[in-house]
Amino acid sequence: MDNGLGEFIKRIPKSDLHVHLDGSLRPATLIELARRAKVKLPSYSEAGLRELVFKRTYRDLPEYLRGFAITTAVLRSPDNLERVAHEFVQDNIGENVRYVEARFAPQLHACESLSTAEVVRAVDRGMAAAAKRHNSSAAVRSGKDLPFHYGIIVCAMRRFKGGMSPYYADLLHVMDYAPHQEVYATASLELARAAVELKRKEDLPIVGFDLAGEESGYPAVKHKEAYQYAHDHFIKKTVHAGEAYGPESIFQAITQCHANRIGHGTFLFAEKMIQEPRISDRKRFVDELAEYIASQRIGIEVCLTSNLQTNPSINSIAGHPVRRMIERGLSVSLCTDNRLVSTTTVTRELGLAVTHLKLDHRALRKLVVAGFKGSFFPGNFTEKHAFISKVTERYAALERELLSEPGQVR
């Protein structure tokens, strides 16, 4: 990728629809907060954390998720949550991300002195303060720069243990008679109810409901009641699906959980991973599923670096199924997943896609705009449409300024 194109990707307005706040701390902040909170780290240097925790490659998804044990442990105070959220927005603004949906599991941070609602409020305060500072700048007020918008997605967990947070420990103790799948479902429904309450009574920008964590063996259908509650109250839905399990997981997310978007969707085309014996024609099932997703404009939140880290079977970006998704006409947006855990940015993800997938100008533009179009924008449809128009105008202006041959990215 030449320098001109690199500068172009750096400066265009971008979005990130799939990024975990508690996986996107600045390393220096994590170390500082851990010292204050007396949270033990494997290393107190950034290099040490990169070597021992936040690696370039992982054995599998469960190993990838282990780093969250230390990031969530330092985020159990309003001040720490607010600071991390503020820095998160600053980092995104710094690379010209102009819309982001920060997702996190409030119940991982809740404790005796901090309720689920207070967790969400603290994150919103931090994000709002950083956004306000940018949006009141002379560049934005003059129209030379775009304003920054954000939404919050609350995540339920497919599976949890007592050691993951005080909230989960208490819930498991209270419901010690119930099967774990029932306890997981109870926590999800409680979170969905809290999200609706905060959105309606406090007007917090909660735009979506998600289900995260270990996928294989912990089906989304177990959380159907929580998703139905969110659906009934007009909160949009996304589900981590097809990240560590096959097409059936994606099918279940759409048909049982009303998913508007799919997180990852990596194994959408993996016919061999289908386990349901009643699906006799696997190829047809996958083709029909992909066509349904494309025709209904169900967005796919693709996280290239993260997928390569957690799925050894995908050994290169060129071999990632995102190319097939694009060719099939799916609404694909590129996301980071975790800025810290995967050591990446939106700029880097787009650069990797252009370099390794040999994207032409039209494909790059479609990827970028799809992120804004597929967003769960907190304003009304008219406001969202107006913002997207400004994004496309800015994109076109940068094409004219920075590309020697507009229309040709390679």
Active site residues: 243
Query: What residues does 302 pair with on adjacent strands?
Result: 334
Output the 3-class SS for the chain.
CCHHHHHHHHHCCEEEEEEEHHHCCCHHHHHHHHHHHCCCCCCCCHHHHHHHCCCCCCCCHHHHHCCHHHHHHCCCCHHHHHHHHHHHHHHHHHCCEEEEEEEECHHHHCECCECHHHHHHHHHHHHHHHHHHHHCCHHHHHCCCCCCEEEEEEEEECCCCHHHCHHHHHHHHHCCCCCHHHHHHHHHHHHHHHHHHHHHHHCCCEEEEEEECCCCCCCHHHHHHHHHHHHHCCCEEEEEECCCCCHHHHHHHHHHHCCCEEEECCCCCCHHHCCCCCCCCHHHHHHHHHHHHHHCCCEEEECHHHHHHHCCCCCCCCCCCHHHHHHCCCCEEECCECCCCCCCCHHHHHHHHHHHHCCCHHHHHHHHHHHHHCCCCCCCHHHHHHHHHHHHHHHHHHHHHHCCCCCCCC
